[in-house]
Structure 1
Amino acid sequence: MASSLVIELVKQAWKIVEEGLKHERTAQDLGKTGDEVSPMFAEIVELAKRLDLPARQIESLQDIMKQMGEAHLKYSKIQCWDCCCAPCYKAELDKADKAIKDFISYRLSLQTAWATMEILCHIETTTSDQASSHRKPAFKIDRETLIFPELPIEGLNSLLMQNLRSCLLKDDGDKVFNLTGFAGSGKTTLAIQLCVDQQIQGFFNGNVHFKSVGPKIESSGEQLASELRERKGLLVLDNVEPGSEDLVEQCWKQIPSDSKILVISRVVLPGLGSPVAMTPLGEEDAVILLRHFVRPIGTASCNLPDRRILLQVVECCGGSPMAIKMIGRDLRGKPSEFWRQYLRKWSPSQGLSILDTHKKFFDHLHQSLQDSEEYKAISDFFMDLCLFPRYQIIPVSALLDMWVELYNQDEDGIDAMNVVHSLTAMNLADRVVQTREGGSSSDAEDDVDNQFLTQHSILRDLASRYSKEQAGEFERKRLIIETNGNDIPRSECFPQQPLRGIDAFLSVLKASILQRRVAARILSITPDQNDTPELRSIIQGAEAQVLVLNLCTHEYRLPEVIKEMKNLRVLIVINNGLRSTQFGNLKLLGFLKALKRIRLQNVSVPCLWEMKNLRKLSLYACEVNPAFENSSMKISEAMPNLVELKMEDSPDLVELPAGFCDIVSLKKLSIVKCRCFTTLRQEIRKLRNLEFLRISYCHNFKEMPESVSELQSLTFLDISHCRTLGKLPDDIGNLQSLTDFYMSDCLKTDDLPSSIMNLTRLQKVICDENTYRFWEVVKISIDFDLEVKTAIGMP
């Protein structure tokens, strides 16, 4: 019995000794755990404070850290005289270890889940009373509307975001901003990034509200502005559609004067503050965004192809955030060979675009347009933009010539400019106003020749695709033919045929359509060779009304198919090459009895041709002297019904050929930026129907002939920026029909004849500061309304 008791005591004693021997290892494990989690706990506490989480949650985190530290400090070290206490110490260490594990496993996990849900559902801001723990949600995020729910700020048009942030952070200045962009450009995502921006939150004291309006407006302006009524704040109204301007105005009337409103819409809303247009992502932002989407989920990094391939991919995406998102997801985790395969699809040899390879992207853009009532009115004009090469600026003057004949617009360009403004308001194109050297922005805005359009490559592909969908098998409104050297000749008929060389293309085309040719109302041809007579095998020219030739060669001969174009009204030739194109085979134009408008750019015209019904001739950067000097045909006989003549930036024009003065039908004469131009002939008196005369930016033009005073039909005279012009005709006052007179940067007050006081019908004068005072005196002295402006604004 006694021996059994001793044995049992020995066993219990050994268990205690065993527990004591485990003490050191337990202490080491707890110390290691503490070293690992303490910095994390410290960061969690700091983030909890910044997120303004309840005090009890921060205190619980701090209590756990404190208990763990005290236990490790008190029980981890054992002195030799305390060895018998080792089991007790180990128990305390186990207790501390269990406490921290329980906290991490249960309480912290639940709190993390709660905090995540809270942040996803409500972006909360502090109130003006920083001591208060009551929190009120600033706005809700509908994550389905976001293109990028977790996007790095650097990848979302960082420059535009900085500029818009700066505007919102100004106490003075504009109070309402209209952020616009085409579908998928990232407007909503950018706006939400601004809403949660620390500087924006601080500037508005956390009073930032985000509301989606949408097509079905269920709230009044008073309700939308209710949360900003008492103190300064920022109200963001997303998805605002045309027709909602009154709603925004109601909001503006309800909020404090130091508050601001950011309106987000796909269309520019006139009258709603300062428009801010989304722009394509820059190269660096696009690469950052692509890296973000190609990285596999749950990984910190991934192996990517070299930067050259990344740049090629983002270039094909055209800086479109949505395109980059879709391509990035397709390329996620894929090897570099897969990337190269993608790039090959978009190469000129394949002729595909992202709209062809990603139907979902096309459907998104397509739906955004189909839902717009504004688009229906300008759909044809939008599709006409694809007649010009991608990445090239489109002259509005060329569009005007087309649209006058195709859609019966007015010849003054009022209708055309309204269409241009509609296209830019819908973000389907961007308008560029080019100011001539020495000129001003006001000069440029008044002249259609200074207006150009640029178009995103994806939007051009969209316009081209829409045009193809309207096409029949052999009849269509637009036919676009592009031949790319040794690569594939492409056309709307067979855009994806893997052929090489024009002969192979034609043979397959003939076999495919049984010798039938395609008839189109509008033709756009981008050749790469000097002569393309084979086009006769493709095109049935009888239906053509507009022909656009996009050149890039040193020589070009008109194709023989021109003879068939009996209904051709407009010929537009644009050379985008560096050197002037030698234009040949012009005799074919004599077959075009219906031709009314010709626009040539950067070509050399070797001779004149007979065009009895031509009404408008526009020559931009063209060499014209050979045609005017060496032709045996008289100008007045070649173009007897010419109404408008424009010559701009001609390198060899010295004087106006006398033959033009014999065309009595001429109403508009414009000679601009012709540096060698010196003389306007006395015979100009013959132009008794001339209403518009512009001789501007001709720096060697020295004298206006006296016979100009005999032009009794003249209503518009522009001699701006002719710095060598010495004086005006003494009898300039005889121009009794003159209503508009532009004379900035050319004459001084002493150079103005006294007869100028006789211009009793004058309504508008644009001058410079040197003559502004003189015209103000004239305005006071005469008894009629006169508007006097300087080219750079009123002094």
Structure 2
Amino acid sequence: MAVVIIGAIASAFWTLCDSIKQVKDQILMFKPQLADIKSTLDSLTPLIKEMTECEKELDGPDDELENLRMEMEEGVELIRKCSKASRFKKYKYVNRLVELGKSLQRLLGILKLQGIRDVKKALVSVRKIENVVHGIEGNCVIQNNQSHRWCAVPETPRLTVGLDVPLRELKMKLFNDGVSMVVLTAPGGCGKTTLATKFCQDEEVKDKFKSNVFFVTVSKKPNLYLIVQELYHRTGAQVPDFQNDVTAVSWLHQFLKQTGQNPMLVILDDVWDKFILEKFDELKMSNYKILVTSRSTFPRFGSPYHLECLNYEDAMALFHHSASLEDRSSYIPEDLPRKIVERCRGISTCNYSCRKIALRAANRDLAEKNQRIPATILIDIWAELYGIDHIESIANLFELAFRSLADLVVTRKDNRDGDDYYSEHFVTQHDMLRELAIQQMCQDPIEHRERLKIDICGNILPTWWTEQKYQFIKGRLLSIFTDGEFSSEWHNLQLPELEVLILNFQTKNYALPEFVEKMYKLKALILTSDGSLPAELNNFQLVDSLPNLKRIRLERISIPSISRYPIQLKSLKKLSLFMCSIGQGFGNGSIHISEAFPNLVEMNIDYCNDLVELPAQLCDLIQLKKLSVTNSHKLSALPEEIGNLSNLELLRLRSCTNLSELPASIRNLKKLNFLDISDCFSIKELPEDIGEMCSLERLNMRQCSRLNELPSSVVDLEQLKEVTCDEETQILWEPFLPSLKNIHIKVVKEDINLNWLHKLHC
């Protein structure tokens, strides 16, 4: 019987080898690691051959050998699942890959006992599997951290019309061996990006370029640093640091040479200036193809392809679909769609024209940040400008999406917990709509505009500003965008009625405008750095003079650079930190955090890569009701003092993948009604006294894959009404269900959509 099982084990081994070989060429980002695993399996090959040729019987019960055979066959299935899993989901299989490595070790141990040959060296090699798996885990964490930078191909709209012929012609043009670059050109709104997306998703194109396709949205103000970072992130490679444009170009060329060894396609979408094309076109490689979409032709760079506007029939079909007229066409005049389509003259975004008045204020606010807008920013803006709560804000965004005025993308489709977590909601808008919104905003005289948007190139300020033409401007919202050449030399600007200030910059060091300290009615401050590293922020002490400041959002800002300034913001209610460098920023400040923000109610920390341990000082914010720490993958511990947050109602620790435990003092959070530890797959157990959290109503523990059991005190959670989990953690609750009669177990499956990420680079 054992001889039969040996044959089955050998068969499973060969199948596993073939699976590894196939996967190694499919997953570019793990290619080196998988090659190492394949090498280890290759070292086992002569042992398996000798075992089968000799047909030696092995010691040990038949059932043990049968289990070993089953484990190897399951390993084949595991490799198949890993190859198809999304980047965010691959960590789910880490433990199971470790078990596969142990099974191989076990096989080697059995062979060693039989004395077939000395396998000590091979055993050491097989142990590399665990190291590789841990490397894969770390790599996945890095990708999770930087997911917003991937050059992913976007999804095509649900309906496309009039693009079949252009698609065929575009393929013929770009597949020509003598053509390395094609410029797809047309006026705005004709469907250039949609055609480029269909091109990438065409079966013939996918067969030619495999997974070696990169979709980069360039936009009007390209940042070469971030574009090169995107490309490296897409392959899972270590992202280089750049000192200047010369260094960035050097790394770009190195990337193109390495990745372009196989057929490669790069889409440069929405190009406005030849600068980027020059950098990509300097290398001439036979496998390297570039498709550019632009309103300009750029005759020096490749062959142009002119995309025509839609004909009347196609435009009418698209209009009816996009305007959702199928069920309501009887309620509007019959000739209205015809007039709109004829007026738009075949522009594929004609469906927007009938709606430019709808949700006008919201649409103008969408123009405040180019390309992508985190929903949380709009929630903050609308809360302070219009007094709209987060529920109504999200409803407005869905209404905008329904009316085709914007696209609302939720990166996790299972994110319907109703827990006010909107960090995975993003809004994008077609550039024609954005320009329309800006145009509407600029119709009023500057001094009377409710919203004011200023783009600064280098140190060139608008003439009306440098000449101090207006003594006062009545605007309630001000957005200022500066590039990497700006020197932070500000002229005075008086906006006594300003309530929302948005500053977006690219320099490594940035000084707040001195006129900020006179914005006494300012309620929301949003600071965003678009540089490659968190920016050093100067003059932050100016905010100390703002008595009505309620909300601050910082994106890619160095917290230590601002913690040295003594400030006291008694009105501040919400502080949001996104991709900030925290370091020791909360511990080494000149003033205690509880004195700086004595009335803080909500604090959000997202994607802060260097956060290893939550500072104990945060636990002195006794007014805090909501604390959210998500996607901070180095966070390994919470302070024991967290039990001091006696007013805390929500604690969210989503996707803190290195967090291994919750402190016992969490039992003191008597007002906590929602706890989210989803995707904290390093947590092995819950606090024994978790049952003392007498107000806990909802618990999200999806993808807590290392939890083996629940503490017996969960039966004391009398207020617990809903537990969100996956199929694995659902089993842990079954023994307690008879005692928890009012509980509802909601089982969700992972469904992560990454196709939106190409829009988030600027």
TM-score where L is the length of structure 2: 0.53
Change (3 A) 1:362 1:459: farther
Change (3 A) 1:612 1:157: farther
Match of 1:398 among 367, 374, 377: 377
Does the aligned pair in 2 maintain the 1:443–1:791 contact within 8 Å?
A: no
Does the aligned pair in 1 maintain the 2:368–2:479 contact within 8 Å?
A: yes
Matches within 5 A, 1:578-617: 578-605=532-559, 606-608=561-563, 609-617=567-575
Residues 67-91 of structure 1: CA distance to partner in whole angstroms, max 9, x if unpaired?
A: xxxxxxxxxxxxxxxxxxxxxxxxx
- Secondary structure at 1:313's aligned position in 2? coil
Alignment of 1:454 with 2:442, yes or no, is no
Residues 257-304 of structure 1: CA distance to partner in whole angstroms, max 9, x if unpaired?
A: xxxxxxxxxxxxxxxxxxxxxxxxx989999xxxxxxxxxxxxxxxxx
d(CA) in 2 for partners of 1:695, 1:670: 6
Specify the code of the residue in structure 1 equivalent to 2:488: T
Specify the code of the residue in structure 2 equivalent to 1:385: L
Matches within 5 A, 1:152-171: 153-155=164-166
Q: What is the match of residue 786 of structure 1?
A: 744
Match of 1:625 among 560, 565, 583: 583
Structure 2 gaps of 5+ residues are 1-160, 171-187, 196-265, 272-289, 300-304, 313-341, 752-762
Matches within 5 A, 1:567-716: 567-605=521-559, 606-608=561-563, 609-716=567-674
Does the aligned pair in 2 maintain the 1:323–1:361 contact within 8 Å?
A: no
d(CA) in 2 for partners of 1:371, 1:311: 26
Specify the code of the residue in structure 2 equivalent to 1:468: C
Match of 2:471 among 516, 520, 526: 516
Change (3 A) 1:459 1:589: same
d(CA) in 1 for partners of 2:344, 2:617: 57
How far off is 1:741 after superposition? 0.4
Match of 2:451 among 478, 481, 501: 478
- Secondary structure at 1:452's aligned position in 2? strand
The structure, 1 or 2, with the larger RCO (C-alpha pairs under 8 Å, 6+ apart) is 2
How far off is 1:749 after superposition? 5.7
- Between the two proteins, the alignment pairs up a number of residues equal to 445
d(CA) in 2 for partners of 1:722, 1:397: 23
- Secondary structure at 2:450's aligned position in 1? strand
How far off is 1:748 after superposition? 5.0
Change (3 A) 1:703 1:368: closer
Match of 1:430 among 407, 418, 427: 407
Match of 1:421 among 379, 398, 413: 398
Specify the code of the residue in structure 1 equivalent to 2:477: I
Change (3 A) 1:753 1:315: farther
Q: What is the match of residue 120 of structure 2?
A: none
Specify the code of the residue in structure 1 equivalent to 2:520: K
Does the aligned pair in 2 maintain the 1:432–1:453 contact within 8 Å?
A: yes
Moved over 4 A (4+): 150-153, 156-159, 183-186, 282-287, 307-312, 319-326, 359-372, 439-446, 508-511
Does the aligned pair in 2 maintain the 1:433–1:445 contact within 8 Å?
A: no
Change (3 A) 1:601 1:283: closer
Residues 139-169 of structure 1: CA distance to partner in whole angstroms, max 9, x if unpaired?
A: xxxxxxxxxxx9784138999xxxxxxxxxx
Does the aligned pair in 1 maintain the 2:703–2:729 contact within 8 Å?
A: no
d(CA) in 2 for partners of 1:286, 1:607: 36
- Secondary structure at 1:519's aligned position in 2? coil
d(CA) in 2 for partners of 1:643, 1:611: 12
Change (3 A) 1:478 1:515: closer
Residues 707-751 of structure 1: CA distance to partner in whole angstroms, max 9, x if unpaired?
A: 111111000001122222232111111112111101122255643
How far off is 1:444 after superposition? 11
Matches within 5 A, 1:171-182: none
d(CA) in 1 for partners of 2:268, 2:586: 52
Specify the code of the residue in structure 2 equivalent to 1:405: E
Q: What is the match of residue 363 of structure 2?
A: 382
Residues 88-134 of structure 1: CA distance to partner in whole angstroms, max 9, x if unpaired?
A: xxxxxxxxxxxxxxxxxxxxxxxxxxxxxxxxxxxxxxxxxxxxxxx
d(CA) in 2 for partners of 1:404, 1:515: 29
Does the aligned pair in 2 maintain the 1:283–1:311 contact within 8 Å?
A: no
Does the aligned pair in 1 maintain the 2:701–2:724 contact within 8 Å?
A: yes
Specify the code of the residue in structure 1 equivalent to 2:539: N
Does the aligned pair in 2 maintain the 1:654–1:678 contact within 8 Å?
A: yes
Does the aligned pair in 1 maintain the 2:309–2:345 contact within 8 Å?
A: no
How far off is 1:702 after superposition? 2.0
Change (3 A) 1:309 1:779: closer
Does the aligned pair in 1 maintain the 2:580–2:608 contact within 8 Å?
A: yes
Change (3 A) 1:555 1:785: same
Specify the code of the residue in structure 2 equivalent to 1:380: A
How far off is 1:787 after superposition? 3.5
How far off is 1:762 after superposition? 1.3
Matches within 5 A, 1:238-387: 311-313=294-296, 372=355, 376=357, 378-387=359-368
- Secondary structure at 1:678's aligned position in 2? coil
Change (3 A) 1:752 1:581: same
How far off is 1:429 after superposition? 1.2
Does the aligned pair in 2 maintain the 1:691–1:715 contact within 8 Å?
A: yes
Specify the code of the residue in structure 2 equivalent to 1:155: P
Specify the code of the residue in structure 1 equivalent to 2:402: A
Specify the code of the residue in structure 2 equivalent to 1:460: R
How far off is 1:386 after superposition? 0.8
Structure index of larger Rg: 1
Does the aligned pair in 2 maintain the 1:624–1:652 contact within 8 Å?
A: yes
Backbone CA RMSD of aligned residues: 4.0
d(CA) in 2 for partners of 1:405, 1:422: 20
How far off is 1:756 after superposition? 0.5
Match of 2:685 among 724, 727, 746: 727
Q: What is the match of residue 233 of structure 2?
A: none
How far off is 1:699 after superposition? 2.2
- Secondary structure at 2:490's aligned position in 1? helix
How far off is 1:784 after superposition? 1.5
Q: What is the match of residue 532 of structure 1?
A: 488
Change (3 A) 1:792 1:367: closer
Change (3 A) 1:534 1:759: same
How far off is 1:431 after superposition? 1.8
Structure 1 gaps of 5+ residues are 1-149, 160-182, 191-281, 288-306, 327-358, 487-500
Change (3 A) 1:569 1:320: farther
How far off is 1:782 after superposition? 2.7
Does the aligned pair in 2 maintain the 1:445–1:451 contact within 8 Å?
A: no
Does the aligned pair in 2 maintain the 1:158–1:285 contact within 8 Å?
A: no
d(CA) in 1 for partners of 2:306, 2:736: 55
How far off is 1:695 after superposition? 1.4
- Identical-pair percentage: 34
Does the aligned pair in 2 maintain the 1:573–1:601 contact within 8 Å?
A: yes
How far off is 1:362 after superposition? 11
d(CA) in 2 for partners of 1:542, 1:362: 44
Does the aligned pair in 2 maintain the 1:572–1:600 contact within 8 Å?
A: yes
